[in-house]
Amino acid sequence: MAKKSTPIEPKSKADFDKAISQFAKDVKVDVSIITNEQMRLMLRDAMTFTPPMPKGGGRGLSIAAHKAGMGKLAKDVKRIFIPMDQGVKSKGVFLRQVINAVQGTGPSGRSWMDFIALQPTEKNIKGLSPVMRKIMQDTDTRRAFAKAQNYLSKARADGSMRPIEGPTNDLRGIHDKYKAKVGGRWPKNAPVGGPQYMVKTLLELQAYIANRQLKVGYTKAAWATALRLMPPLVSSRGNARNYGVYDAPWVDANRSAMGKFSMSQRPTGTSMSATNLVGNINNVATDANMENIVYGNRVKQIANNPYSIRARLQETIDKANGK
């Protein structure tokens, strides 16, 4: 039976600083060394608890986290763009184009021009009602237009239908424009905020999604950059100490100058600071309570450290023996 993990209780920086000081005292090690160790572990935690994460949270450096991020990006893009060569998957889309054309809410805003620009095919008329399908098969375009106006003035259109524009080749420009409206990332179940656009083929849409998925992990990668800017941590015997090590090539692939690290010496000890210049995209870090979860995890791990526990236990034994 799998051991159930204990939830992480969010903590503050003051709680973290207090835990570091106590731990350094327990194990009788200079607090600057402990600060270096914990800063490295904290940056790894920041990568772990920054979205994307798999269902249930945490494990943000796992393959499952990468898949979750890839899936979220693909889903967001598919809410904006519809491939014209996918008749069955685009069921209802052509009807919306017809409605927009007849009502003058199409790409040009001129009913007749938008209507004659429509290209009925066997695939895209599958989603139409029998009456509407017959209208769109009429070879007399003006007569079909008049029939469509008459039919749609009586038929009830679904009020949830979003307008359709396109076709377009500017997938990146439209996608970036929509992302900018929501701060870079759509909150769960949030509306897209504009019309859908047609793209010529499913392959074109898939290629665009694959290209943008290469950036999944970009926010995490800034923390990875900050980690690598830290001075090396070496033991008294000259051996490198790999605190904060992780295995996530998909994060490392996006490392850039967006992560910063600084360090200064003070009378009270060493001060270290790391900054992620990518920013808190659409409050995803705030919503995930990332900062306080990271502090909480460090406090929890320090408290559970066997050296810390052993030192405190020995102190209790020594006191009991009158030493």
Is the pLDDT higher at 103 or at 22? 22
User: Using a CB cutoff of 8 Å and minimum separation of 24, what contacts does 120-125 make?
Assistant: 120/94, 121/87, 122/87, 123/85, 123/86, 123/87, 123/88, 124/84, 124/87, 124/90, 124/93, 124/94, 125/94
User: Which of 190-199, 268-277, 308-317 has the weakest average pLDDT?
Assistant: 308-317
In a 3-state reduction of DSSP, which class is residue 81? Answer: strand
Per-residue model confidence (pLDDT) at position 4: 52
Average pLDDT over residues 274-293: 71
User: For position 251, what pLDDT does the model report?
Assistant: 96
Tokens 């772990």 correspond to 48
Which sign does the torsion angle of CA 128, 134, 137, 140 carry?
negative
Choice among 53-67, 82-96, 131-145, 255-269 with the minimum mean pLDDT: 82-96
What single-letter amino acid sits at 205? L
For residues 216 and 183, the answer to whether their CB atoms sit within 8 Å is no
E strand intervals along 161-233: 164-165, 196-199
Q: What is the pLDDT of residue 180?
A: 84
User: Is the model's pLDDT at 88 over the cut of 70?
Assistant: no
Q: Where are the domains of the chain?
A: 13-52+218-320, 67-213
Query: How large is the average pLDDT for residues 225-252?
Result: 87
